């Protein structure tokens, strides 16, 4: 398995849903039959609209959501962890190696703890360090890497701006020396000037600490800038996946094309109309049969309109995968 860090094999996540206590129990198909491989040292991007299952997939890979079927394997140096079949001891080990950076730096930090305590908490909970001195050393070390000053450590989060808070969250995620980081919309709540700073920091830490990222975002221009590989999700399915340059230069799926054309251009003279997708993302309670995108596809083939085409990724050029239905649509 050499260079892969994470293999996601046929993973589906369903949630039970019951509108009220007398109505029928239903299933929400949040994530359907996903296959991805995340290479060691890569910056893997996951894009899609809200409700497409990006966060659910990210959480499933961290073992924070129950996986309904399929499995996720984490390839560590010495051994593999199978997330669907893990005992408590293994899960504890895994948590040290895979961490999460949250979206909102205002909600993610406890207002009653000093920055030092916030960053040190994972070390104490996971019993990684043996003495207070050792903990302090690790905290100072990671804080310096995340460009926080030593005197910041004594203060409380309310004294910091959004960008500084996000650096504190990053330091907390990295203090246990993880190998894999899920960054869930980690720059969405920040202003552009600070967003650029945080993205540069994430990139720099990646090379310094040998990290692998799963970067979840709805902002395609951010993803295009930082990620090596990108997967586009729609209603719980991956509809297109490939190296980011190739995918953004040469999008194949109509959904990817529509997403790209919807980014407002910074050039006021370029008022090209976006490919307008009709309607909105359907409910995951009752997804369309066959190709999930067919209800909004601008140009569906006849078979697709009837919902007769099964979903499945096909390789159109090296490492560039597109849903088979859409290959026929255009």
Partner 1 sequence: MSHLLEVKNLDVKFDTDEGRITAVENISLSVDQGEVLGIVGESGSGKSVTAKSIMKLNPGNTSYNEDAEIILDNENVLQFTSKQDLKKIRGGKVSMIFQEPMASFAPAIKIGAQMVEQLLIHKNINKDEAKSISINMLKRVGIADAEKRFNQYAFELSGGMRQRAMIAMALSTMPKLLLADEPTTALDVTIQAQVINLIKDIIKEYQMGVIFITHDLGVIAQVADHVAVMYLGSVVEKGPVNEILKNPQHPYTKGLLQALPDINNLDAPLSPIPGNIPSPLDRPTGCVFRTRCPHHNPEGKDGKIEMKLIEVEPGHWVDQCGIQCGQNG
Residue ranges binding partner 1 (CB under 8 A): 49-50, 161-164, 191-197, 199-200, 218-222, 224-225, 245, 248, 258-269, 271, 273-274, 276-277, 280
* Residue 59 beta carbon to partner 1: minimum distance, rounded to whole angstroms: 20
* Residue 19 beta carbon to partner 1: minimum distance, rounded to whole angstroms: 13
* Residue 161 beta carbon to partner 1: minimum distance, rounded to whole angstroms: 5
43: left (phi over 0), alpha (psi -120 to 50) or beta: beta
Closest CB to partner 1 among 120 and 258?
258
Distances (CA, A) of 60 to 54, 146, 197, 315, 320: 10, 27, 29, 25, 24
* Residue 219 beta carbon to partner 1: minimum distance, rounded to whole angstroms: 8
Nearest partner of 229 among 211, 210, 248, judged by Cα: 248
* Residue 225 beta carbon to partner 1: minimum distance, rounded to whole angstroms: 4
Closest CB to partner 1 among 162 and 307?
162
Closest CB to partner 1 among 129 and 254?
254
Closest CB to partner 1 among 130 and 207?
207
Strands 43-47 and 4-17: unpaired
Using an 8 Å Cβ cutoff, are 45 and 220 in contact? no
Q: Give phi and psi for 321, each to the nearest 5.
A: -110, 135
Using an 8 Å Cβ cutoff, are 274 and 280 in contact? no
Closest CB to partner 1 among 138 and 320?
320
């Amino acid at each position: 398995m050499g260079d892969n860090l994470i293999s996601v094999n046929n993973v589906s996540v369903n949630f039970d849903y019951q509108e009220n206590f007398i109505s029928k129990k239903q299933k929400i198909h949040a994530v359907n039959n996903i296959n991805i491989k995340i290479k060691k040292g890569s910056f893997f991007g996951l894009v899609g609209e809200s409700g497409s299952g990006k966060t659910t997939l990210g959480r499933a890979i961290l073992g924070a959501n129950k996986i309904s079927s399929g499995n996720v394997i984490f390839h560590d140096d010495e051994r593999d962890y199978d997330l669907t079949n893990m005992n408590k001891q293994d899960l504890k080990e895994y948590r040290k190696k895979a961490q999460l950076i949250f979206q909102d730096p205002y909600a993610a930090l406890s207002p009653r703890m000093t920055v030092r305590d916030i960053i040190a908490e994972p070390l104490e909970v996971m019993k990684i360090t043996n003495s207070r001195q050792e903990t302090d050393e690790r905290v100072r070390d990671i804080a310096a890497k995340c460009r926080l000053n030593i005197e910041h450590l004594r203060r409380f989060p309310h004294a910091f701006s959004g960008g500084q808070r996000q650096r504190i969250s990053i330091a907390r995620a990295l203090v246990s020396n993880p190998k894999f980081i899920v960054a869930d919309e980690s720059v969405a709540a920040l202003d552009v000037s600070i967003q650029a700073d945080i993205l540069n920091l994430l990139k720099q830490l990646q090379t310094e600490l040998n990290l692998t990222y799963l970067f979840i975002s709805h902002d395609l221009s951010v993803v295009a800038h930082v990620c090596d590989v990108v997967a586009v999700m729609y209603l719980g399915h991956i509809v297109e996946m490939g190296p980011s340059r190739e995918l953004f230069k040469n999008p194949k799926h109509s959904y990817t094309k529509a997403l790209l054309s919807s980014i407002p251009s910074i050039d006021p003279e370029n008022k090209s109309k976006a490919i307008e997708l009709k309607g909105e993302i359907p409910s995951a309670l009752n997804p369309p049969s066959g190709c999930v995108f067919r209800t909004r596809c601008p140009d569906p083939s006849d078979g697709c309109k009837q919902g007769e085409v099964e979903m499945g990724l096909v390789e159109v050029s090296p490492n560039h995968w597109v849903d088979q239905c859409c290959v026929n649509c255009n």
